[in-house]
Structure formats: C-alpha cells, structure tokens
C-alpha cells in the first residue's frame, strides 16, 4: 500500500475539524441514559477508549521525532493532534451523557496506565520500526474495533455524527500506518532480522511488552463484560495480518512477523499464550498504585469543551 505522502499530508490539512463542528445539544441523550444497565458498563468502556486515544497520541508524538523525512514527521504531528481530538470528543460524549464528575478525568484501567507510563518513559528511545509496526496493530484492533462496537451499541445520533469524523481520520492513520510498516521492510533481510533481535533483547522493550500483552487481554475481558462478542475483536486483529502481509515488503518487516504471530495467539483461545498473559492481567490488579508515575502532563490539555 504505497502512498504519496505529500498528497496525504495535503489531504490531512484539508480535512481538519473541531469539536465545535458537532451539535452537542442535539436530541438523543436519553437513548444512552435510559438504559441503566448498559450505562454503567458504557461509562467504563468510554474511559478506556478515551485513554487508548492517548496511547495513540503518545505513540505518534514519539514517531514524529523519528520520522525519516519531514513530510512524515508533519503527518505524525497532525495524527498526534487528531488522537487528542478523538479523546476530547469521547470526553465530550461522556459529558453529554452525564458520565463525568465535574472536570475530573476518568481513570484508565491499570493496564492502560502501565502502557501509558511505559510510553512516557521509553517510547522516545524506541526505533521507528517498533512503534511503526505496533501502532497499526493497536489502531486496527483497539481504536478501530472499539469504535465499531460503540456504534453498534449506542444509538445516540450525536455519537454517530462524531464517529463519522473520527473514522475518516482513522482511515488515514491506517493508510499511513501500513505504508510505513512496508517501508520498514526495505533493506537486506538479515540486517533487518539482526537489528530486530537486538531490539528485542533491550530490557526496556521487554518491560513494554510486559505492559502491552495484558492490555489486549484486559480489553477483551472488558468487551465481553459489555456483552460484545470477542470474535469481533479477533476479526479486527486478523486484518492486521491480512493488510500488512499483502506485500513482500510488509512481510519482510520482522516486527510485522512478530506482531502478527502474537495476534494469532491472542485470537486462539486454546493457545497456551493465555495462561501467563491472563495471569499478568490478574497480577496487575495488585500493582501498587504508588509505583505509578503521576498522570503525564500531556493529558492536561484534555477537555470536553468545544473550541472553534
């Protein structure tokens, strides 16, 4: 999926939008608030979704610093801002549905919190090929699939109007994401492999993996709690392999190979993979909160308020 990055950047600039473009007062609130059983679960789901946008935002911020050319760097800076906008839209929806206590931010679940901590500490040190390969997977599996679930569950037309805009952004994120994933497959295969092995042995990356794997299983459990079929998440995860593996360059990217193998284990419920990873999910429930870093400063810009 080779893209013309200059054209893509122009398109991104032309399609910028703001929270104020959405009519937040339009009728439809009771479609959410009138279903108390769903409401409580939805509140947790929305908080997680909002924080996942921030994981994406942080990832793009790190990639902007590593981008091999200025066009791609500029694209990533836009994507960083777009993910923050998505988070703000989700906050505005929570506000609309009466899910926010005053102006306080909803708490992310512990696994999201650990991933955010890791990103904040180490993502700037990671080579582009790691983030460039994992971000499309995260976008397709979490961002993409969760938004779809939300639209299937919630009938409020304002939510649908907002996600129409978000999904257009996401389509571009994925387009660029898979382009970069292929870009990272250029070069001599053995050199790519040796470099990947070297990075894999980096203890900082190992900590990152230990934070990332239980997050996926936690999100799966949360979706099931919400009454959604986990197979839908798996369909989304399989798309990563399908799209990323379409070209030889994509398949040559060792990180694509690693991530698609990991995804294949996630979607196989009988896989032994789930024994240690589900144990990690349980274990992280006991992770001492005082070991967590204070909420990173970049979330301070978060607001449900609309700006023109």
Rounded least distance, CB 176 to Fe ion, Å: 10
Q: Which is nearer to Fe ion, 117 or 170 (CB)?
A: 170
Using the structure block, give the residue that is written with the tokens 């392999």: 241
Stretch that binds Fe ion, among 103-111, 167-175, 267-275, 294-302 (CB under 5 A): 167-175
Stretch that binds Fe ion, among 109-117, 153-161, 169-177, 262-270 (CB under 5 A): 169-177
Question: Rounded distance, CA 183 to CA 56, Å?
Answer: 20
Rounded least distance, CB 183 to Fe ion, Å: 18
Rounded least distance, CB 36 to Fe ion, Å: 28
Q: Which is nearer to Fe ion, 277 or 304 (CB)?
A: 304
**Count of CA atoms in the C-beta half-sphere (13 A) of 149:** 29
Rounded least distance, CB 19 to Fe ion, Å: 14
Question: Are residues 169 and 42 in contact, defined by beta-carbon separation less than 8 angstroms?
Answer: no
Residue 229 tokens, joined: 């079929």
Neighbours of 122 (CB within 10 A): 17
**Judged by CB under 5 A, which of 22, 32, 47, 53 binds Fe ion?**
53
Q: Which is nearer to Fe ion, 48 or 53 (CB)?
A: 53
Q: Which is nearer to Fe ion, 146 or 192 (CB)?
A: 146
**Judged by CB under 5 A, which of 86, 96, 165, 239 binds Fe ion?**
86
Residue 308 tokens, joined: 């023109």
Q: Which is nearer to Fe ion, 117 or 139 (CB)?
A: 139
Q: Which is nearer to Fe ion, 139 or 182 (CB)?
A: 139
3-state DSSP assignment of residue 188: coil
User: Which residues are within 8 A (CB) of 215 and not within 5 positions of it... i.e. 6 or more apart?
Assistant: 111, 112, 114, 115
Task: Report phi then psi at 188, rounded to 5.
Answer: -70, 130
Question: Are residues 163 and 151 in contact, defined by beta-carbon separation less than 8 angstroms?
Answer: yes
User: Which residues are within 8 A (CB) of 2 and not within 5 positions of it... i.e. 6 or more apart?
Assistant: 179, 182
Rounded least distance, CB 53 to Fe ion, Å: 5
**Judged by CB under 5 A, which of 172, 173, 218, 241 binds Fe ion?**
173
Report how many residues bind Fe ion under the rule CB under 5 A: 8
Q: Which is nearer to Fe ion, 173 or 252 (CB)?
A: 173
Query: Could you give the angle at the alpha carbon of 300 between the alpha carbons of 109 and 164, nearest 5°?
Result: 70
Question: Are residues 180 and 173 in contact, defined by beta-carbon separation less than 8 angstroms?
Answer: no
- Please list the alpha-helical segments (H only) found in 184-247: 189-200, 203-225, 230-244
Question: Rounded distance, CA 181 to CA 184, Å?
Answer: 5
Question: Rounded distance, CA 184 to CA 253, Å?
Answer: 6
**Judged by CB under 5 A, which of 48, 129, 143, 156 binds Fe ion?**
143
Q: Which is nearer to Fe ion, 60 or 255 (CB)?
A: 60
Considering the rule CB under 5 A, would residue 139 count as an interface residue with Fe ion?
Answer: yes
Stretch that binds Fe ion, among 27-35, 135-143, 235-243, 288-296 (CB under 5 A): 135-143
Question: Are residues 85 and 12 in contact, defined by beta-carbon separation less than 8 angstroms?
Answer: no
Considering the rule CB under 5 A, would residue 80 count as an interface residue with Fe ion?
Answer: no
Considering the rule CB under 5 A, would residue 117 count as an interface residue with Fe ion?
Answer: no
Binding site for Fe ion (CB under 5 A): 53, 56, 83, 86, 139, 143, 170, 173
């Amino acid at each position: 999926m080779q893209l013309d990055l200059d054209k893509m950047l122009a398109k991104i600039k032309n399609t910028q939008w703001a929270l104020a473009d959405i009519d937040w007062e339009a009728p439809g609130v009771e479609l959410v608030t009138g279903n108390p059983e769903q409401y409580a679960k939805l509140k947790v789901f929305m908080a997680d979704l909002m924080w996942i946008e921030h994981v994406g935002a942080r990832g793009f911020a790190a990639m902007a610093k590593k981008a091999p050319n200025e066009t791609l760097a500029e694209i990533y800076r836009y994507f960083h801002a777009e993910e923050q906008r998505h988070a703000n839209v989700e906050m505005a929806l929570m506000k609309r549905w009466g899910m926010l206590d005053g102006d306080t931010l909803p708490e992310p679940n512990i696994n999201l919190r650990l991933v955010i901590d890791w990103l904040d500490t180490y993502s700037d040190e990671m080579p582009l090929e790691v983030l460039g390969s994992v971000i499309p997977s995260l976008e397709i599996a979490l961002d993409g699939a969760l938004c779809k679930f939300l639209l299937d569950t919630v009938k409020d037309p304002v939510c649908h109007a907002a996600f129409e805009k978000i999904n257009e952004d996401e389509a571009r994120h994925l387009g660029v994401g898979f382009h970069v994933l292929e870009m990272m497959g250029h070069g001599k295969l053995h050199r790519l492999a040796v470099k990947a092995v070297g990075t894999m042995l980096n203890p900082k990356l190992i900590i990152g993996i230990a934070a990332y794997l239980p997050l996926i299983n936690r999100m799966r459990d949360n979706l099931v709690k919400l009454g959604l079929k986990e197979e839908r998440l798996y369909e989304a995860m399989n798309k990563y392999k399908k799209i990323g593996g379409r070209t030889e360059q994509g398949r040559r990217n060792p990180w694509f190979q690693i991530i698609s193998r990991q995804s294949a284990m996630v979607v196989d419920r009988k896989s032994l993979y789930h024994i240690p990873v589900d144990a990690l999910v349980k274990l992280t429930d006991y992770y001492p909160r005082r070991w967590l870093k204070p909420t990173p400063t970049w979330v301070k810009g978060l607001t449900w308020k609309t700006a023109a």
